[in-house]
Amino acid sequence: MSRLPYVRPTVQRLNQGPVNPFRLGSSPSCPEIDGVAVADLVRQHGSPLFVYSETSLRNQYRDAHRAFTRRYPDVQFAWSYKTNYLNAICRVFHQEGSIAEVVSGFEYEKARHNGIPGDKIIFNGPHKEKADLERAIAEGAMIQVDNIDELLVLSDMARGRSKPLPIALRVHLSTGGQVVWSKFGFNGDDGEVQQVVRRIIALPQLQLAGLHCHIGTFILEPDWYRIATQKLVSLALEAEAMGAGPIRYLNMGGGFASHARLHYQYLPPEQVTPTMDRYAEAIGDTITSMWPANRPLPKLYLETGRSLVDDAGYLISSVVAVKKRVFHDPLQTALAAYGKNPGHVSVSSGSQNALVLDAGINLLYTSTWYQPRILPVRACIDAPTPTTVYGCLCMNIDVIREEAPLPGLNTGDQVVMHPVGAYNQTQSMQFITYRPAAVMIGQDRQVHVIRKRENLDYVQAMEVVPHHLNA
Ligand SMILES: Cc1ncc(COP(=O)(O)O)c(C=O)c1O
């Protein structure tokens, strides 16, 4: 029997071509945000520019609150400051009824500055300065203990109090799916939590008032919350049976997904991101079904961050250069390096459109994990083609999107990136440029500056030049 000749497998790059032979197709565009023309925003506030929609912030909050209160009688949201602590953003959530969740002395001060009393602050995080703990204790904050050293510091501080100091334990749990965030808190799966509970029982100056877990971020599987809640409720009931408590609250943290799109996420967010109802059902129904019927239900705290703010945030940016990106064939490049290239073989194996924007990845930290949608501001009739979107930093890694579907754009055109409301303000880095202004579009379409563009004085404010260098 004759065998078929061996054919080497090849991998071919598939490029998205024009949608019809005339290259006509409507590229989606974003001429306005909440009824305000993007061109006007840039004219008045410059480019790049962060834009937040107050309407979206409030709607996201109300939807989430409604979903949870429908399923659980005693729910309290605590705005996760680290997700976005621009004061205007925090105050929108505080006005809606959210208290504050902070993870450092700095964030604690910010929450107090925003009018939140200490007893409406959840104090979280793996490192809390002693002075910050003292203040938090004096003001009645809800301290979520991360580790045994912190527990011992608190037990020292609480000595001599007339009443025991209420604390909660942060717990990390496996839900069978996610990578366990074991950096934080005590192990809820191997008996460590029970050991710590025994220690707390032996310390009369401390009282276990709550249990907390935050299983991770951008959790697309609501069932993981069902499992985490089951485990946390079991631990709470076990702690009480051991003599601790009473457990007054359960804090399920944050982690609900926004409509961002992960790298390599095949389906669009509209099909992938669970509704808030599914998270609410997983958590609320689990507590009510497991909690003893003769006892008042514990208060449920939620520290949801990204799912409330991400979709409300946009970054406007302008095209500053149009380029071609050349792809090199790695084999031919290697042969050329060793002088083995026969000469007639080109080392480049193709090219695609590329743009340079006036914003860089220092403003879009989250582009490491997510691909922001990039839309041109003006309507374009030509079909989108794969385009590399570079940032403006003098660094080769400054690529905002390896491949975004965009029509042909010119220098001076503007684009809108979305959703970018979570973590990009707080994690942005001042690097070679001034960070841009941020505005909030009010429900009445008024545009408010909520952070000014940086300038030289601001960037240099903390620098000191030694006397001998003053010419
Ligand atoms: C303890 C804690 N709570 C809440 C959040 C907010 O999470 P997310 O933005 O995913 O909702 C975080 C973020 O990592 C966190 O560490």
DSSP assignment of 156-211: HHHTT-SSPEEEEEEEE---SSSPP-TTSSEESSSSHHHHHHHHHHT-TTEEEEEE
For 227-243, write each residue's pLDDT tens digit: 999 999 999 999 999 99
Is residue 217 in contact with ligand 1, taking CB distance under 6 Å?
Answer: yes
Pick from 208, 204, 168, 174: nearest CA to 190: 174
CATH code of 169's domain: 3.20.20.10
In a domain, 341, yes or no: yes
212 and 321 fall within a common domain:
no
Of 304, 321, 351, the residue at which a domain comes to its end is 304
**Does 414 map to a domain?**
yes
Index of the ligand 1 atom closest to the CA of residue 124: 1
Residue reference for tokens 């249990």: 211
Judgement on whether residues 277 and 423 belong to the same structural domain of the protein: no
Range of the domain at 176: 124-304
pLDDT band at 15 (very low <50, low <70, confident <90, very high): very low
pLDDT at 108 over 90: yes
Distance from chain centroid for Cα 104: 17
**One domain, residues 279 and 154:** yes
Q: Is residue 358 part of a domain?
A: yes
DSSP lists the bridge partners of residue 38 as none
* Cα atoms found within 13 Å of the Cα of residue 80, Cβ hemisphere only: 25
> Is the CB–ligand 1 distance for residue 124 below 6 Å?
yes
Asked if 462 and 444 count as a contact pair (C-beta separation under 8 A), the reply is no
* Same-domain check for residues 378 and 439: yes
Identify the pLDDT of residue 24: 54
| Statement to judge: residues 403 and 439 lie in one domain | yes
What is the per-residue pLDDT across 370-406, written as a single tens digit (0 to 9) for each? Answer: 999 999 999 988 889 999 999 999 999 999 999 999 9
- Amino acid (one-letter) located at 107: E
Give me ligand 1 centre to Cα 306, in Å. 8
Indicate whether 448 belongs to any domain: yes
CB-based contact 258:314 (threshold 8 Å): no
Q: Are residues 318 and 238 part of one domain?
A: no
Residue 381 confidence (pLDDT): 85
Together in a domain, 166 and 297: yes
- Tokens standing for 263? 């790298």
Q: Measured from the CB, is residue 421 less than 6 Å from ligand 1? A: no
Q: 118: Cβ below 6 Å to ligand 1?
A: no
Are 289 and 340 part of one and the same domain? no
Contacts with 70 (C-beta within 8 Å, 6 or more apart), sequence order:
277, 280
Q: Decide if 266 is inside a domain.
A: yes
The one-letter code for the residue type at 67 is A
pLDDT digits (tens, 9 = 90+) for 265-275: 989 999 999 99
Binned at pLDDT 50, 70 and 90, residue 349 comes out as confident
Q: Where are the alpha helices (DSSP H) in 216-268?
A: 222-242
CATH of the domain at 38: 2.40.37.10
Question: In terms of domains, do 296 and 409 share one?
Answer: no
Taking the centre of ligand 1 as the mean of its atom positions, its distance from the CA of residue 31, in whole angstroms, is: 33
Answer whether residue 33 is part of any domain. yes
CB 422 within 8 A of CB 218: no
243 and 180 in a common domain: yes
pTM over 0.85: yes
Residue 355 clears pLDDT 60, i.e. is over it: yes
Give the pLDDT of residue 178: 75
Alpha helices in 218-329 (DSSP H): 222-242, 269-272, 276-280, 286-290, 306-309
pLDDT average, residue stretch 63-83: 98
Q: With 70 as the cut, is the pLDDT of residue 14 above it? A: no
Eight-class DSSP state of 281: I
**Is residue 342 domain-resident?**
yes
In a domain, 104, yes or no: no
Residue ending a domain, choose from 304, 321, 346: 304
Indicate whether 331 and 425 sit together in one domain: yes
| Rounded Cα distance, 419 and 370, in Å | 10
Q: How many CB atoms are located within 10 Å of the residue 26 CB?
A: 13
Distance, in Å, from the CA atom of 104 to the CA atom of 19, rounded to the nearest integer, reads: 52
- Residue 32: strand pairing partners: 37
Q: Are 151 and 137 in contact (CB under 8 A)?
A: no
Which of 214, 251, 420 to probe ligand 1 with, by most ligand atoms within 8 A of CB?
A: 214
- The closest-lying atom of ligand 1 relative to the alpha carbon of residue 181 is 16
CA of 99 to the centre of ligand 1 (A): 14
SS3 state at 131 = helix
Are residues 317 and 282 part of one domain? no
Distance CA 452, CA 195 (A): 50
C-alpha angle with apex 301: 296 to 307, nearest 5 degrees?
145
State the total domains in the chain. 2
Q: Is the dihedral of CA 189, 190, 194, 196 positive or negative?
A: negative
